[in-house]
Structure 1
Amino acid sequence: MTSAALTIASNRGASGIDGTLASAIGYARGTKKPVTLFIGDLALIHDINSLDLVNDPDICLTIVVINNRGGGIFSFLPVSAFNHVFEKYFATPHSYDFKGAAAMFKIGYQQPRTMADFERIYKKNIRGKKSVLIELQTDRNETLTLHKNIQRTIKNALEK
């Protein structure tokens, strides 16, 4: 990819995930430029009905959904130590993928298996004129371990 100026926008709903997809659709429509939305699986589930708006020919939205089968981001909170409430009420595990939702709303769908596949698919889609949903399936526990290792490495480097 080339070095180009990026415009970054964000949305914070009442609980952080309210209307995230709808906001990205509105942003794409308002700017009349291709837009990429990075969204978690729970946020997309919460706003799934907004996929009906994605097929508008006036917008080009690349939706990249990180599907870790639940609220992986909450694993970073202290409540994650209380597994008896954490899994059910915070992680809210599920077994969904988004292929069926993309088909139902007639949106292009891709599920890359490697980083190289993702880069190829993403680059192709951001140059296109149609919206697409790209689903990245990850493992919550592996992601948490990776983040903890990165944090530990940074902490050790700073303490030297």
Structure 2
Amino acid sequence: DGAVARLLAAEPPGRPTGPAVAAALWEACRQDGAVLVAGSSNPVRDLDLAARPGPVSPLVVANRGLAGIDGTVATAAGAALGTGRPVRALVGDLTFLHDASSLLLGAGEREPDLQVLVLNDGGGGIFATLEHGALGEQQEYRDVVERFFGTPHEARLDALCAGYGVPHRRADSLPELAAALAGPVRGRSVLEVRVERRELRALHARIRAAVAGPAD
């Protein structure tokens, strides 16, 4: 949607947002024909908000819609091996941590052409957009909501990837992201993009308003 594209382009500079990253990844897959694996939770919602379907759109694979993070990295690897096509997967940090062992390549096994793009917001950002997010905006509940629903962590994805022998790269801006997505997908790699959770609820509301357009 053009209104959404203009809204994302007008966002203040700083860390990229999930919808802006989803839009960039969608365009990269549209350009080079890579299969797009949509992780559950925020990534699939970001794609739903920001992707712009057209005459040529990527093949999109998802495990079970909006919910369920089990086995997403394995699904993406299987999609690459099964189709013989490069795959880009958009996942959240908790989804990635839950299934990082699927990066392991057994002796004699074929290596998938797989780029895993991890939206790292340091926890479970999805709850900011649900009813828990509204509760967390109240001062008396903020800490407990963050602990039990935000589930913050300090895991180092670069070190985790190094342990599996998988190249890791960080993109801290949309131009850096565009450069990282410009090359072909060869072998396994992880691209980490840090995003914020704090303004997520308001951003999703602005995008939905842009999609709906002015009221009659």
2:195 counterpart (122, 133, 138) = 138
2:168 matched to which residue of 1?
109
Matched, 1:74 2:157: no
Higher deviation after alignment, 141-150 or 58-67: 141-150
Question: Does the 8 A contact of 1:25 with 1:53 survive in 2?
Answer: no
Question: Does the 8 A contact of 2:122 with 2:153 survive in 1?
Answer: yes
Note the residue ranges of structure 2 that are not aligned, 5 or more in a row.
1-27, 32-54
Shift, 1:86, TM fit? 2.4
User: CA separation in 2, counterparts of 1:92 and 1:104?
Assistant: 24
User: CA separation in 1, counterparts of 2:193 and 2:106?
Assistant: 19
Any idea what SS the aligned residue of 2:155 has?
coil
With the length of structure 2 as denominator, give the TM-score of the two structures: 0.64
2:78 counterpart (8, 13, 26) = 26
Q: 1:132 to 1:76 in 2, by over 3 A?
A: same
Note the residue ranges of structure 1 that are not aligned, 5 or more in a row.
none
Aligned-partner residue type, residue 82 of structure 1: L
State percent identity of aligned pairs.
Answer: 30
Aligned CA-pair RMSD: 2.4
Q: 1:144 to 1:96 in 2, by over 3 A?
A: farther
Shift, 1:154, TM fit? 4.2
Any idea what SS the aligned residue of 2:61 has?
coil
User: CA separation in 1, counterparts of 2:204 and 2:106?
Assistant: 32
Can you list the C-alpha shifts for 1:28-79, whole angstroms capped at 9, x where unaligned?
A: 1111110000000111111121121499553100000000011111111112
**Alignment length, in residue pairs?**
156
Any idea what SS the aligned residue of 2:190 has?
strand
Question: Does the 8 A contact of 2:105 with 2:111 survive in 1?
Answer: no
1:64 matched to which residue of 2?
117
Shift, 1:152, TM fit? 3.8
In the TM superposition, 1:147-158 aligns within 5 A as 147-155=204-212, 157-158=213-214
Shift, 1:12, TM fit? 2.3
Question: Does the 8 A contact of 2:117 with 2:190 survive in 1?
Answer: yes
User: CA separation in 1, counterparts of 2:145 and 2:185?
Assistant: 41
Matched, 1:91 2:150: yes
User: CA separation in 1, counterparts of 2:106 and 2:204?
Assistant: 32
With the length of structure 1 as denominator, give the TM-score of the two structures: 0.85
Any idea what SS the aligned residue of 1:135 has?
strand
